[in-house]
Structures are given as C-alpha cells and as structure tokens.
Amino acid sequence: MDPISPRGVKRPSRYNDLIDLILPPKKPRLSSGSSRHSSVQDGQGDDEMIVTICGVVKQPRPKRVKGKAGKYAFILRAPTEIVLQIMSHLWPVDILNLSYADKELRAMLTAPNNKFIWEKARANVPGLPYLPPDFTEWGYAKFLWINLCDICGARVYMKEEMAHVRVRLCGKCSNLYMIDLYMLRHRYIALHWDRASLLPNDRHRYFAPSAQRLAHRIEEMGEGPEFQKFEKERQELVIEVAKHGYLLERWIRESKQAAKDHVAQLQLKRKDVILERMKDLGYERQDLENREFQRHRLLNTSEEITNRNWPKLQKALEDIVGGIRSARLGIERQKRNVAALRNLYCEYWLGLPDDVEKYTMPPVLDFMDFPSCKRLLERCSLTDTNIRDGFQLALPGIASDIQIFRAEIRHGLFLRWDNYERDQSIFQWDRTNAGKNDFTRYRFLRRATTVFVCSHCRNIKPIHYDSLFSHAFHPHGDPGINPYPKLAMKWSDIQRMLTVRTDACDVMESIVKHAKLDADTTTIGQLDRLGAVFSRPNEDRRSGKIGWRELYRELMILRSDPNEL
C-alpha cells in the first residue's frame, strides 16, 4: 500500500507511523566510489554565478565528456524560469525518467520543496486521480508507468485490479503472492479477527507479504491504546485508498481504451498511406484489397510512413503483392480451364451416338474429379497448354477412367437391388449373386424388370441403367432443370436418392408379360422397339394404343389412386 522506496515527497505526519511497505525493503545500493559520468576538465577559468532551480550555483566551464555522459546536464545549469517552463509540459513519467538519468537530477526532483513540479505534471495527465495518501509522487509515477513486476522485474502492463491491491504483479507472481480471505485468516493468526479491513484488496484478494508484515506488527503492538489508535488510522487510510482505487481503476480502463483507439487510428492512417502509394506505383486494386495483404503485419502497425523508411518497406510490400498477384492469376487461369473443360465434355457427350452407353456417361462433376482430368488441368495451368488440344491428347486416359466409373456404378446399383431382394424374400438371397462379375451385373441391370425410382421426385418415373442419367433428379421432376450432362449432383448424391419399390417392379413385370417377352432377358430397347402396342387400363375411358412408358405411368397412378382412371 505504501511506496516502494522512501524517496520522494514527504508524507503527512499522520501517516509516518503507518509505513507498512507492500514490498520487502530493497537492499541499500553500494557506492561505486566513482562518479557515474567520467569527464576530463578542458581547462581552468573563471566560473560564472547563475540562479538555477537548485539555487545560486557556479556554472563551470564546459567539460569534454565521454559518450552520452552529461546529456541532461543543461537542466542543472539552465536558469530556473527555463527549467520550470520545460517541466510544465511534462508528465510524471517524464520526470520519473529524468530522475533515473542522473543522481543530481534525482536529488533535485525528489526534494520536498519541488513538489509543485510533480503536481503540475499530474495536472497534465487527462483524468488522472489525485495523489493518494499511500504513495509519494515518485512512487505513484513508478506504479502507474513503469511496466515491470514489483517482485521479479518481468514486463507487465497495468491491470484494473492492481489499482486496489496497490502493487504491480505479473501472472506468475500474482499466483504466488495473492491469497483469498480464507487463506488470509488461515495463515496469519493475528488476522483471524476482523482485521482484514486493514489491508487493501481486490474483491477479497490480498497481497501476502503485506498481510504478513501487518500481522507481525499487530503481534508486536498488542491490544493496548497504541494499537487502537493505529487500527483507527489504518482503517481510515484503507477506506481512502479504496475510494481512490475505484477512481484509478476507471482511469486505467479509459486510458487503455484511449491507447487502443489511438493505435487503431495510426494503423488506419498507415494503411491508407501504403495503399495510396501502392496504387500510384501501378498495382491493381483487387490485389491491394486482398485479405492476406490487408491483414499483413506490415500494414497493421502504428509506425508512421516517412521518406526514410519507405524504400525498404516498399520492396517488402512489392514482394507480397507480387505473390498475391501470381496466385490470383493462377486461380483465374484454373477457373477458365475448368469452365472450358466442362464445355468440352458436354460437346463430347453431344457427339456420342444414341446407344446404350450414352446415358451411363458420368455427370460433369464426377468427370472433373477423374485423375486424367486433374492431370490435364495441372498440365495446362503450369505450361499454358491449350485446353482443347490437351483434351484430345488425354482422351485415352479419360476413356479408361469412364470405364472404371461405369463399373463402380454397376456395383453400387447391384448392391441396392441385392438389399431389396433380401428384404422381400423369405428365403436367403442367393449368395452367389454377391460374387457376380461386372459383365454379369451389366446384363442383370439392363433387364426391363430391374427398375429403380427416385425417392426425392414427385413423379415415379422408371429409372434403368441404360437411362440412368437422363433424369433431372429434381424434386419436381422437371427435365429442363440441370439437363444431362450438366447435372448439379455427383453420382454419390444420386445413388442415395435411388431406391427399389415393389409396386414399380410389379408394374414392369406385368408390362413385360403383357408383351409376351422374357422377364429375365428383355431390355428397355426391346420395349421401345415395340412401339404403341399396349391397351389402356380402362378401355371405356379412351381408345387407342399406347407405349410402355405411358402404360407404366397410368398403372402407377391406378395403384396409388384407383379412382384416378
């Protein structure tokens, strides 16, 4: 609660007996036996009498000094009016730094008759609370502005809770020396009674060395009149310190926020200057607005841009923007190549004959994931190869990837049908089916009776292997939305939408039987070649022959709502 050192402005007499240093007293400094600043007298001459802030002194002739010794000596030799005028613009931290610079300056600034210098310096700090009774001017300035831990000397910035504890601690020392009310009464017997109010605290957290010294002093004084007087004055002091602590806490919080705002303004100004200069150098706006560039540490510092530091900074920024520009151009070239490759695939698909394999070609999203396509895009991006020429050269590898993709499709569809048969049959599904090769699965999936439906589509259209990707796979079944091969889904997404339904399988079997064909070998192509040879389910409603697809639709409607037809 008291200052770290007895140096500084003298306390009022009522607090002389309350000196209870928060920190252990420092060891006295050992005299070095020689002056801090070594100097050599240039010559002898008459000294001039001059009135200074330290009184009427002789002004010696200038001395030749080594290094920076005597840098602030002009303050001691300057007239009083000039020194006071200079110090009227300083803050306490400036005066504190001057006191560290020279022994004579320290003696002058900590003299009791120069207290007005500190008072004027405190008045220059916006919103700074008054000098509390537990600090000297020197100790108050050190507590507020010297960012060092009072125990270990580690660097630590001021925190709001330090205003109540009256000591600056780092995180490690805070864990070691700060105790709660329970530990306070548990460790120190003299504080078992209601003596905790004699210590400054932050939400009932106390500084252990201060509590130890207070307990020791209470034990020495006993319970006599002297202690009662001490206790009363001590309580008044702690109350005054607590009031000052709340004011100081608010000032610390506001000062930290003001510092953050000031740094933010400097950073914004620096960023604006950098962007303006980079634009003048011809760099594109989209590169300067890149997120990586905007967040770079060279832009987000508070150092002012000057003609001295700009050349070195410019070189570093040009390297950063150059890398960003190269990456952007590479991404744009990759996007152009991807769009061109998609269009080439669609053109390639349109040129295929209308045979069985056309609607088993992979959707464009799966096509772009082929290893051959990725190699083609990488080669075109690195060597600037024409994408159309590269596509023609990569066709053999693309055809091989397409065959592998078709085999995976057949395997997945066969497993779905296998699961359906296992669920529908009371007998175990033939285990040999699981071991069928790809050619056997191909013949099995081409059957007209091996039909799937889309569980997400409103219209229950039959989906066979030969016409697998001819559907839009849209909830409303609109074929105009994302027509093949520009499907907006991959095969992995479509596969989850396909299912086997009993009513669809029964309808297809009835259609094949009505056409007097073999259910195990008849394909969709054979049904299409029959043409309109089927009669409608209800001949009284409408006459004429229809094809198998229209018959399938009417039979499915009839199954769902018998009154529909």
pLDDT at residue number 267: 94
Give, for 333, the enclosing helix (H) or strand (E). helix 310-350
Burial state string for 358-382 with b = 16 or more CB within 10 A and e = fewer than 16: bbbbbbbbbbbebebbeebbebbbe
User: Which of the residue ranges 172-181, 252-261, 508-517, 543-552 would you say has the lowest mean pLDDT?
Assistant: 543-552
54/189 same-domain check: yes
**Per-residue pLDDT averaged across 539-545, rounded?**
64
Burial class (CB in 10 A: 0-12, 13-18, 19+), 150: buried
CB 537 within 8 A of CB 555: yes
CB 464 within 8 A of CB 360: no
267/251 same-domain check: no
Which of 204, 224, 255 finishes a domain?
255
Give, for 438, the enclosing helix (H) or strand (E). helix 438-445
Other Cβ atoms less than 10 A from the Cβ of 280: the count is: 8
User: Which of the residue ranges 27-36, 435-444, 494-503, 523-532 would you say has the lowest mean pLDDT?
Assistant: 27-36
89/105 same-domain check: yes
d(CA 279, CA 284): 7
132/76 same-domain check: yes
What are the tokens at 559?
A: 């199954």
pTM, whole model, 2 decimals?
A: 0.58
What are the tokens at 132?
A: 């509390």
Q: Which residues span the domain enclosing 267?
A: 263-329
207/308 same-domain check: no
Residue 122 predicted with pLDDT over 70: yes
289/247 same-domain check: no
Rg (CA), the chain: 46
What are the tokens at 464?
A: 């066979």
What domain count does the chain have? 2
Q: Residue 191 — pLDDT band, cuts 50, 70, 90?
A: low
Q: Of residues 74 and 522, which shows the higher confidence score? A: 522
Q: How many helices (H) and strands (E) does the chain have?
A: 23, 10
281 is a domain residue: yes
Residue 471 predicted with pLDDT over 80: no
- Residue 178 main-chain phi, psi, to 5 deg: -95, 130
**Per-residue pLDDT averaged across 445-454, rounded?**
89
Q: pLDDT by residue (tens digit) across 142-186?
A: 999 999 999 999 999 888 889 999 999 999 999 999 988 888 877
d(CA 139, CA 3): 5
427 is a domain residue: no
158/196 same-domain check: yes
373 is a domain residue: no
Average predicted confidence (pLDDT) for the chain? 81
Which of 255, 283, 313 finishes a domain?
255
174 is a domain residue: yes
57 is a domain residue: yes
56 is a domain residue: yes
248 is a domain residue: yes
303 is a domain residue: yes
